Amino acid sequence: MGRSIFSLTGKVAIVTGASRGLGQAIAVALAEAGADLFITARSEASLVETRTKIVDRGRKCHVGAQDVRDLTSIATTVARCREVFGRIDILVNNAGFENVSPSVDVDETLWDAIVDTNLKGAFFWSQAVARALSEQGEGGSIVNLCSLTSYVGIPTAVPYTSSKSGLLGMTRALASEWATAGIRVNAIAPGYFRTAMTDDFYQDANWQDRMISKIPQRRFGKDDDIGGAVVFLCSEASAYVTGHCIPVDGGFLASI
């Protein structure tokens, strides 16, 4: 039998914000599909667990401390990945930041911290990787982590909603611009997953009941639910798919 169109064997993927939660689950799923990984987070120490999971699956993994708001360090990390692996094929812009606050209380510091992480950082990471992919001349895949807030408004989350709505628009625009270079740009929009960033919400049993009632599958997402969509968008199985966002939300957006 031939190689699966979902296989990522021989591919090199960068995943930002890979130390925990969805970023870790995505990195592990890519490794299980055959990719070697360069993973980043703000500290190398936080990446030990993810790296171990990847290596345990027989894949190579290098780590790097990197703040997605630091444009100089983005260029340095891309160069380091190419030095280590000789190429880049995949970028997953997963690093994100959220802080809920009444809109009248949002100051410039909070706005910049959220928007610079979720939108500005994703753009300049995409730009740096697109330059590398263009030099390689073989195309590649970029996957952005959007959100349900890319589609619907959430009270007290205006900076986050703005950043994720912008990320969806950016996904479509870059896909249109870079398609002739063989670079596909897509996104996924995770629904309600319990992660370190969102755990405060899940401490409220009443909130959980309200949210579950809005999800047709009547459950929250699990880490294992996220990897399949990302592997699909990074593999030959989605060779004719670009500029789209796949909600991974148990049917939430389909039913509101």
Residues in the chain: 256
Report the alpha-carbon distance of residue 16 to residue 70 in Å, rounded.
13
CA 89 to chain centre: 15
What is the arrangement of strands in the sheet containing 90-93, beginning at the earlier edge strand?
Answer: 61-65, 36-41, 12-15, 90-93, 140-145, 183-190, 245-248
Residue of 151, 160, 202, 240 marked catalytic: 160
The β-bridge partners of 143 are 92, 186
CA distance 87 to 78: 10
Residue 192 falls in the annotated catalytic set: no
CA of residue 66 relative to chain centroid, distance: 15
Active-site residue list? 160
